[in-house]
């Protein structure tokens, strides 16, 4: 869906003895995938407003035309100015060119 943000409700992945891998192309040109830890979803400002999902979506819409590296930098800069972290935080940006 072009121009839309989709959220996937996924829990932690476990270990299996055997995985079956099927090749499926789920990302189209310009699509962005963000993988993150709970530190991002729990980040709040001093008023208690959460960073995720609304604030992150706003930032992502503003920088979506940039490269993955530039998107990462913009989100990192925004995160650092948003609020005090209570937990460690990691995220990865993947963009299909």
Tell me: pLDDT of 12 over 60.
Answer: no
CB within 8 A of 40, min separation 6: which ones?
Answer: 51, 52, 56, 79, 89, 90, 91
CA-CA distance, 41 to 26, in Å (whole number)? 24
CB within 8 A of 84, min separation 6: which ones?
Answer: 46
Contact 75, 59 (CB under 8 A): yes
Tell me: pLDDT of 11 over 60.
Answer: no
For the entire predicted model, the pTM comes to 0.76
Q: Can you tell me whether residue 69 is helix, strand or coil?
A: helix
Residues 40-83: tens digit of each pLDDT:
989 999 999 999 999 999 999 999 999 999 999 999 999 999 98
């Amino acid at each position: 869906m072009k121009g839309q943000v989709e959220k996937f409700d996924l829990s932690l992945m476990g270990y299996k003895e055997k995985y079956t891998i099927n090749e499926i192309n789920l990302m189209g040109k310009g699509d962005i995938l963000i993988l993150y830890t709970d530190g991002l979803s729990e980040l709040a400002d001093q008023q208690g407003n959460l960073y995720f999902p609304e604030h992150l979506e706003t930032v992502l819409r503003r920088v979506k035309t940039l490269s993955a590296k530039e998107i990462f930098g913009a989100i990192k800069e925004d995160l650092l100015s948003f609020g005090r972290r209570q937990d460690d935080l990691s995220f990865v940006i993947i963009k299909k060119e």
